[in-house]
Structure 1
Amino acid sequence: MKYGEIVRGIFEKRINRFISEVYIDGVKIQVHVKNTGRLKELFQPGAEVLLESTNNPNRKTKYSIIAVLKENNWVNIDSQAPNAVAFDAVKEGKITEIGEVDFLKREVTYGASRFDLYFKQGDEEGFIEVKGVTLENEGIVMFPDAPTTRGTKHVLELAEAAEKGYRCAILFVVQLKGCRKFVPNRETDPAFADALLKAAEAGVQILAYDTVVTEDGMTLDSAVPVELI
């Protein structure tokens, strides 16, 4: 996926979940944050950031933060990007564990949930739930970075769909390079970690892929080992 016009800035502070203060060319302005997660390890004063510009007259802010520089590598923090990247990768058959699909659609309702991707593969039907991952520590990437009741609900309903014969997968899109394994963040959200184990036992594929993050985009790259326990 590609962004439009991109500018660089220097992060100052986060005001709330949606707004931060950033210096662009030495001028401090308020910008939109395209992620409501905590991101404390990334949003440090003085961190270099990438911002997407918009000309939408209805927007209160002209810029949105899409990436943060961490240890000389860009980490994409756009919460909408993983779904777009996953859709493109599945459509192009780039995810080995999924393979080629005959039909692919975004945001399809099943039961009380709306899963990110629905696909057909011959006589099989399936769902893929996509989760963006930005939390990294010494090469280990984790999800979530804050408790997510909604995420746990989706995982459990995906497990139910798998038990009813659908082919199901949870795809963790790691929004950076240089990681060696993915683990659920049990310390932050034990319920989500337990749900992930239950889903795996029900036959849901638990997948993680890293990405190549550039100044103007992000693409799915390589599989990352998953460790659930």
Structure 2
Amino acid sequence: MPALVAARFVARPNRFIVMARLSDGRLVRCHMADPGRLRELLLPDVDLRLRPAPVGAKRSTAYSVVLVHAPMAPRPWVSLDTTLPNRLAGDLLRRGAIRGLGGCAALRREVTHGRSRFDFLLSPRRARDTFVEVKSVTLVVNGVGRFPDAPTTRGCRHLRELTDHVRAGGRAAVLFVVQRPDVGSVRAHGETDPEFARALAMARQAGVMLRAVRYRLTAAGQALYLGPVPVRV
């Protein structure tokens, strides 16, 4: 994989496009996979890291934004790569590293149940199959990771269907992957999406397992596992 390219944020004309300035002064149009608002991160002139598009790729942007250097102390690097949380979660699930989920006998991705498609179906060695939905956390307020940073109808539907599944006798978990180190716990961002906060509380009450883990990102894009943090409801 090619090395990441240093740049500075200039503008975000829409959710999926960022204009960035390279170190040689060129202004480039970049793909932004993360559709979140990111207002506390994407400030003028903030440092970014870009991944060059694959050679021969048929796309209108030459780069993708994958990291931003948070402008507020302690100024960690924060991942904006929406594929990273599921890769990290898959590794943890395969290694049996998430409390309460058990060792992994089999792991399937993108499994449909009801009206939703969930990130993983875990077959533990000593428990029933477990649906696992992964949520990426990049917003931090006073040391608390908050999710979501914008209203999410899809996220609420996921929680309701997992809740119904557990009430019917199944097993399910939500895994929050915090892509920055400056977090001591995770909780729903009820001010932004009160419906999600209510659905998360109902999910925990029904027996859906809520777990969170955090990582530190380097400027080169390496993700270093820092362990679990509690989910507060």
TM above 0.5, one fold?
yes
For residues 119-138 of structure 1, the aligned pairs below 5 Å read: 119-121=122-124, 122=126, 124-138=128-142
Gaps of 5+ in 2: none
Structure 2 Cα separation of the partners of residues 156 and 217 of structure 1: 34
Structure 1 Cα separation of the partners of residues 138 and 115 of structure 2: 27
Structure 2 equivalent of residue 15 of structure 1: 13
The residue type paired with residue 64 of structure 2 is S
Is the contact made by 2:17 and 2:29 (CA closer than 8 Å) also made in structure 1? yes
Structure 2 Cα separation of the partners of residues 150 and 130 of structure 1: 13
Structure 2 equivalent of residue 211 of structure 1: 215
Structure 2 Cα separation of the partners of residues 99 and 48 of structure 1: 40
Structure 2 equivalent of residue 44 of structure 1: 43
What is the number of equivalent residue pairs in this alignment? 226
Identity, in percent, stands at 38
Asked if 1:95 is matched to 2:98, the reply is yes
For residues 108-123 of structure 1, the aligned pairs below 5 Å read: 108-121=111-124, 122=126
Q: What SS does structure 1 have at the residue aligned with 2:180?
A: coil
Structure 2 Cα separation of the partners of residues 199 and 31 of structure 1: 37
Structure 2 equivalent of residue 81 of structure 1: 84
Please report the TM-score for the alignment, with normalisation by the length of structure 1.
Answer: 0.94
Please report the TM-score for the alignment, with normalisation by the length of structure 2.
Answer: 0.93
Structure 2 Cα separation of the partners of residues 198 and 205 of structure 1: 11
Q: What SS does structure 2 have at the residue aligned with 1:96?
A: coil
Structure 1 Cα separation of the partners of residues 232 and 169 of structure 2: 25
Q: Compute the displacement of 1:169 (Å).
A: 0.4
Q: Compute the displacement of 1:111 (Å).
A: 1.0
Structure 1 Cα separation of the partners of residues 163 and 222 of structure 2: 32
Gaps of 5+ in 1: none
Is the contact made by 1:209 and 1:224 (CA closer than 8 Å) also made in structure 2? yes
Q: What SS does structure 1 have at the residue aligned with 2:160?
A: helix
What RMSD, in angstroms, separates the aligned Cα atoms of the two structures? 1.3
The residue type paired with residue 101 of structure 2 is I
Q: Compute the displacement of 1:112 (Å).
A: 1.0
Q: What SS does structure 1 have at the residue aligned with 2:88?
A: helix
Q: Compute the displacement of 1:222 (Å).
A: 1.1
Q: Compute the displacement of 1:220 (Å).
A: 4.0
Is the contact made by 2:102 and 2:127 (CA closer than 8 Å) also made in structure 1? no
The residue type paired with residue 85 of structure 1 is L
Is the contact made by 1:143 and 1:185 (CA closer than 8 Å) also made in structure 2? yes
Is the contact made by 2:67 and 2:221 (CA closer than 8 Å) also made in structure 1? no
RCO higher in 1 or 2 (8 Å CA, sep ≥ 6)?
A: 1
Q: Compute the displacement of 1:123 (Å).
A: 5.0
